[in-house]
Structure 1
Amino acid sequence: MKVISNKEFGGERPLFESHDLRLENVIIRAGESAIKECSNIEATNCTFEGNYPFWHVHGFVIDHCFFDVGGRSALWYSDHLKMTNTRIDAPKMFREMHDIEMENVEINDADEVFWRCKNLNIKNLKLHGGTYPFMFSNNICIDGLESDSKYVFQYVKNVELHHAKITTKDAFWEVENVTIYDSELNGEYLGWHSRNLRLMNCKISGTQPLCYAENLVLENCTFAEDCDLAFEYSSVQATINSPVRSIKNPRSGSITADCYGEIILDQNIKAPADCKLKLWDEKTCFTD
């Protein structure tokens, strides 16, 4: 493997079609497509300031690197990436990629990151700012996520998420086959129009959570006081270890909670309209 150390590159495609290359303490200055159409690339302690440095790269390692604001859209149409201990200040990263391993990464402008990606295995990721992370991606496993980005995880499939703290709105819309463990989910309109969404040991806050959901499962979860008008038109099996402020027109299934502040069942409820609302002492509050 060829090694380049302590160098600077700029302009258009300075390392185009490089293969079997290791970069150490290299700075990619202003320009475009510095490392394009490459394979078997390693970069350690490098800084990327120019646009689109890693496009159409097959097999690469990025460790202890920094992507400056100018390094936007840096990783597209590439595969088999391992990224560790890296900070990213640029938006629109990771597009149309597959087979990504990641650990200890912080993205400080998470606008449109991880779009149309698949096979992601991630540990300890921080997302700040931006909108729509993970749009249209699938086959995702994340252990350790902190995010204040808006509209996270929309239109995703086959996701397993552990130990997350997510503060947002409209999260997990139109998702399919998603399981979330031991996490804190703060925001409005959680999980609308989802299919096969499972929440295990989660703390949930925000208005109108989990509506229009199909085959929704909650186990050992808690609701904050602002969780009102929950479960509208959802088919749900839920065990909630807290009071629930209000529930509106659940479609079917069973919900068990400490107590209910308000139960709204009106003329707009949808068939089969047979959801059972229970208390932990097995008393049934409502059944059709």
Structure 2
Amino acid sequence: MKLIKDTQFGGERPLFASHDLHLDHVTILAGESAIKECSNIVATNCRFEGNYPFWHVHGFTIDRCFFDVGGRSALWYSDHLKMTDTRIDAPKMFREMTDIEIENVEMTDADEVFWRCKNLDIKNLKLHGGTYPFMFSSHIRIDGLESDSKYVFQYVKDVELRNARITTKDAFWEVENVTIYDSELNGEYLGWHSRNLRLVNCHITGEQPLCYAHDLVLENCTFGPDCDRAFEYSSVRATVKGAIGGVKNPRTGSITAESYGEIIIDGNIKAPGDCELKLWDECTCFSD
């Protein structure tokens, strides 16, 4: 592997179609597509200021690097990436990629990141700002996520998420086969139109969570007091520790909690309309 160290490149495609390179303390200045159509690339302690540096790259490592705002859309149409201990200030990263391994990465403008990606293994990721991270991606494993981005995890499939703190709105819409463990989910309209969404030991806050869901499962979860009109038109099996602020027209299944706030079961409920609302101590049923 050829070592290139302590230098800088600018302009368009300075390292186009390179292979078997180790870049150390290299700066990619303003320009485009610096490392395009390359393979077996290692970048350590590098700074990326130009647009689109890693497109169509096959097999690469990025360690202790920095992507400046100008390095937008830096990682597209590539595969077999391992990224560690890196900070990214540019938006629109990770598109149409497969086989991504990430550890200890912070993204300060997470606008439209991780779109249409597959096979992601992520540890300790921080996402700040932006909208729609992980749109249309699948086969995702995450342990350790902190995010305040809006509309996270829309249209994703086959996801396992652990130890997350997510503050957002409209999260996990239209998802399929998603399991979330030991996490805090803060925001309005969580999990609408989901299929096979399972929450285990999670804390949920925000208005109207978990509506229009199919085969929804909650195990030992807790709800904030602002969670009203939950489970509307959902098929659900839920065990909740503590109170639920409000439940509205769950379609079928069962919900067990310590107490309930407002319960709305009215003529607008959808068939079969047989969801049981129970109390832990009395196993009292409120269904009509």
Letter in 1 for 2:269: I
> 1:65 and 2:74 equivalent?
no
Residue by residue over 1:92-116, the C-alpha shift from the partner in whole angstroms, topping out at 9 and shown as x without a partner, is 0000000000000000000000000
Letter in 2 for 1:192: W
In 2, the alpha carbon distance for the partners of 1:286 and 1:199 equals 23
Letter in 2 for 1:255: I
In 1, the alpha carbon distance for the partners of 2:261 and 2:24 equals 61
Report what 1:138 is aligned to: 138
Residue by residue over 1:14-57, the C-alpha shift from the partner in whole angstroms, topping out at 9 and shown as x without a partner, is 00000000000000000000000000000000000000000000
Deviation of residue 281 (structure 1)?
Answer: 1.2
Residue by residue over 1:152-174, the C-alpha shift from the partner in whole angstroms, topping out at 9 and shown as x without a partner, is 00000000000000000000000
In 2, the alpha carbon distance for the partners of 1:156 and 1:201 equals 21
Report what 1:251 is aligned to: 251
Residue by residue over 1:182-230, the C-alpha shift from the partner in whole angstroms, topping out at 9 and shown as x without a partner, is 0000000000000000000000000000000000000000000000000
> 1:192 and 2:192 equivalent?
yes
Q: Structure 1: any 5+ residue segments left out of the alignment?
A: none
**Partner SS, residue 35 of structure 1:** coil
Report what 2:22 is aligned to: 22
In 2, the alpha carbon distance for the partners of 1:100 and 1:267 equals 49
What is the RMSD computed on CA atoms of the aligned residues? 0.5
Letter in 2 for 1:68: D
**Partner SS, residue 268 of structure 1:** coil
Report what 1:8 is aligned to: 8
Deviation of residue 282 (structure 1)?
Answer: 3.7
> 1:147 and 2:147 equivalent?
yes
Deviation of residue 148 (structure 1)?
Answer: 0.1
Report what 1:82 is aligned to: 82
After TM superposition, the structure 1 = structure 2 runs for residues 244-283 of structure 1, keeping only pairs within 5 Å, are 244-283=244-283
Deviation of residue 284 (structure 1)?
Answer: 1.9
In 1, the alpha carbon distance for the partners of 2:284 and 2:191 equals 26
Report what 1:213 is aligned to: 213
Report what 2:38 is aligned to: 38
Q: Structure 2: any 5+ residue segments left out of the alignment?
A: none
In 2, the alpha carbon distance for the partners of 1:142 and 1:261 equals 34
In 1, the alpha carbon distance for the partners of 2:216 and 2:190 equals 12
Letter in 2 for 1:78: S
Deviation of residue 287 (structure 1)?
Answer: 2.8
Report what 1:165 is aligned to: 165
- TM score, norm. by length of structure 1: 0.99
In 2, the alpha carbon distance for the partners of 1:282 and 1:62 equals 57
After TM superposition, the structure 1 = structure 2 runs for residues 169-188 of structure 1, keeping only pairs within 5 Å, are 169-188=169-188
Report what 1:228 is aligned to: 228
**Partner SS, residue 191 of structure 2:** coil
| Matched-pair identity in % | 81
In 2, the alpha carbon distance for the partners of 1:282 and 1:9 equals 71
> 1:52 and 2:48 equivalent?
no
In 1, the alpha carbon distance for the partners of 2:269 and 2:282 equals 24
Report what 1:92 is aligned to: 92
Structure 1 segments (4+ residues) deviating >4 Å: none
In 1, the alpha carbon distance for the partners of 2:193 and 2:22 equals 46
In 2, the alpha carbon distance for the partners of 1:133 and 1:173 equals 12
- TM score, norm. by length of structure 2: 0.99
Aligned length: 288
Letter in 1 for 2:216: L
**Partner SS, residue 100 of structure 2:** strand
Deviation of residue 242 (structure 1)?
Answer: 1.2
Residue by residue over 1:233-256, the C-alpha shift from the partner in whole angstroms, topping out at 9 and shown as x without a partner, is 000000000111110000000000
Letter in 1 for 2:116: R
Report what 2:129 is aligned to: 129
Deviation of residue 262 (structure 1)?
Answer: 1.1
